[in-house]
A and B are shown apart, each in its own frame.
Chain A
Amino acid sequence: MTEFRIPKLNNNDDSYILVEWLAADGQEVKQGDPLVVIETSKTAEELESPADGTLVIRVHSGDCAPGELIGAIGAAVEVAEPVIPEVPPLTSGEIDVVITRPAQALIEHHGISLDRVRALGRKVIRAEDVAALADPREVITLPRAQRQAADVVVLSHQTIPAAFTAVKADVTDTAKLTRDLSKHARTLIGLSELLVKAVADQRAEFPHLFASWLGDGRIRLAEGSHVGVTIDVGKGLFVPVVRDADVRPLDAVARELMDYRMTALRGSFRERDLEGANIAVTLHGEAGVEFAIPIVYPGHVAALSLASTQQEVQRGDEGFIVRQTVRIGLAFDHRVVNGRDAALFLGAVKRLLEEPRRWLE
């Protein structure tokens, strides 16, 4: 039996196309008979039979390569396996899941079943997907409000070089005053309400702390004191805005804050409740909180924090006395104001909280 291989027909192609056989499988052929048409990239060539005998065709059509055995001439013999032409790199059809090589290595390393991999429901499985499967710890997605808060604090950290200063205020006398004020105003007036109003009232003297950084060493001053106040009743952190708190009386500011607390408990904030602040007051009234560093909201220059009231033993004229104190913190954009401005601003706020008489004027 004579093997019938495709000769090398040119220098350019590494594969040809077997177009058609000119003799039938099993046909008797003579040496020199045209047997098969092979197409190269330039031309089509007829190949002649190398011997007399019976033609046994192994490759019927399609891709073929120089040197490939496509048939035989001789006594009819059984052809074991048809030669499968090389699978072209691009084939049609859908694969249910594609596993990258790094992912495959991890699957084998952890002995993860393919069913679990398929259950991921992804078309492409990467190493990180498999690593997640191999890790028994639960992964959860945070609620939308927290994800939004995350974006805000990241932006703040990325864009605002904030410094921090804190003062301690003695609010022993103020505590008594707030009870009277509350009764008189028929709404709750506590340190938080006083602080919001006290902060708002500083804009005339400290306009830079209510400004907005524009870049290139420029800031835009505010047209009113719009104080954002943190409210978190366990349903996510919200910062509703008390608008024009500098020109409104204390009881109006207090009533609006009470409305916001109610909204936080029962309803949902409207977009306009949450927009337009130019400074923020963050409340940390939970017992035992000594002081807190707030995050400066992107677009603001300053954020204040009010910690919880502490009992403090101080030296008195005769022996010791117990005073109530509270820490007020100020985080500020150091591009706009410096420590001195911050201390003066805090000092003014502190005085308002420490001298309750001023609220009665």
Chain B
Amino acid sequence: MRVAEHLNRSLHALMESDPSVHLLGEDVSDPYGGAFKITKGLSDRFGPRVMSTPLSEGGIVGVGAGLALAGDRAIVEIMFGDFATLAFDQLVNFAAKSTTMYGRRVDVPLIVRLPTGGRRGYGPTHSQSLQKHFIGVPGLSVYEMSPFHDAERLFGEIFASGTPAVFFEDKVLYTKPMLSGGDGLHTFELRDGWAVIRAEEDTEHVLLAPGGLTDRAVAALRDLLLEDEIACTLLVPARLHPLDVTPVADVLAAARRVHVAEDGTAGGTWGAEVARVLHERLWGRLTAPITHISAPDSIIPTAAHLEARCTVQPADIRRAINK
């Protein structure tokens, strides 16, 4: 099953099992079913709980947070994650803070879904990976879809936490199959919010990457092992922030080199925060500073051949790990 279909089924299951869940977003209703078809069939099935809204990201997120604050649960789709900037105020100053502003802890079960990333030729304002702007906002969790993690479980986990979350979904990942078990070379293991992808145990190299990079990271892992004889374990966390590395502590403890890859542009990134967390944990055991692989500090171009240079490619990951 492809990731897009899995997400769609997860939303169906979630809305079926929990009548307090609302879904809002631009053009999410049938027959269109959302720009990426993730909300297909939901409005036909759940009627007024699915609402196609006017083009106002701040408005939609504000309504979603209001629903969550009032005791319901809300999933908001921003058609392109780039426009989460228009909802930044509602996320940071309203949704995230509302959990602690009423004299007692208040749950805000809100998920803002953000189709994200380039490699589609959508140009500078429809191709970005803005995860880094949401890292370190008190009261806001940052998740990213991966082909390993069950989306329905993640949504349930976020709602249960009572903390609002942004949920990044790589647009190319939509078209890729969900993965489990292994690919013949690597085994895929799930543990407490992390996917562990490896051909051998206790590898010298460990690569951390969000779910959207999975296809490129696994391609790089293959080449590294088969061409360069370097065994590397890929760790994919479902929750990017706050990052809890305890479930994969054994994998990290065996590592002598650690690398972090992400699609965001260089500077003030998620990967830098991961490196800070890991340097504190692994200092003295690593034989080199943690490697950081990201898109360059550049506005993402539309033309495919230029865009390729501004998005992380398997060869970039392989080269960095090989260094």
Contact = CB atoms under 8 A, between A and B. Distances in A.
A100 B175 contact: no
B179 A90 contact: yes
B229 interface: yes
A89 B185 contact: no
A92 B148 CA distance: 13
Given A17-B175, A88-B177, A100 B227 contact: yes
Contact of A12 (B122, B181, B185, B227): B122
Contacts of B70: none
Contacts of A91: 183-184
Contacts of A88: 177
A327 B135 CA distance: 70
Contacts of B226: 98, 100-101
Interface in A106-158: 123-124, 126-127
Contact of B120 (A39, A41, A101, A124): A41
B184 A92 contact: yes
B218 interface: yes
Given A41-B174, A90-B183, A95-B185, A126 B200 contact: no
A42 interface: yes
A92 B181 contact: yes
A94 B227 contact: no
Contacts of A32: none
Contacts of A41: 36, 120, 171-172, 174-175
A88 B183 CA distance: 10
Nearest to A94: B184
Contact of B229 (A92, A94, A102): A102
Interface size class of A (residues with CB under 8 A): 20 to 34
* Majority secondary structure of chain A interface residues (helix, strand, loop or mixed): loop
A179 to B, nearest CB: 57
A92 B182 CA distance: 6
A39 B225 CA distance: 35
Interface in B155-180: 171-172, 174-175, 177, 179-180
A92 B183 CA distance: 5
Nearest to B171: A41
Looking at chain B's contact residues, is the secondary structure mostly helix, strand, loop, or mixed?
Answer: loop
Interface string A37-71: 00101111000000000000000000000000000
A15 interface: yes
Given A41-B171, A88-B177, A124 B199 contact: yes
B242 to A, nearest CB: 30
B229 A127 contact: yes
B219 interface: yes
B120 A12 contact: yes
Nearest to B199: A124
B191 to A, nearest CB: 19
Interface in A75-104: 88-95, 98, 100-103
Nearest to A102: B229
B231 interface: yes
A98 B199 CA distance: 9
A230 B221 CA distance: 50
B184 A124 contact: no
A43 B222 CA distance: 32
Interface string B220-239: 00100111010100000000
B175 to A, nearest CB: 6
Interface in A291-332: none
Interface string B71-104: 0000000000000000000000000000000000
B49 interface: no
Contacts of A93: 182, 184
Centre residue among A39, A41, A90, A92 by max chain B CB count within 10 A: A90
Nearest to B224: A100
Contacts of B182: 92-94
Given A90-B218, A101-B226, A124-B200, A15 B183 contact: no
26 contacts: A11-B304, A12-B120, A13-B120, A13-B175, A15-B175, A17-B175, A41-B120, A41-B174, A41-B175, A43-B37, A44-B37, A89-B215, A90-B183, A90-B215, A90-B218, A91-B183, A92-B181, A93-B184, A94-B182, A95-B185, A98-B226, A100-B225, A101-B227, A102-B229, A124-B199, A124-B231
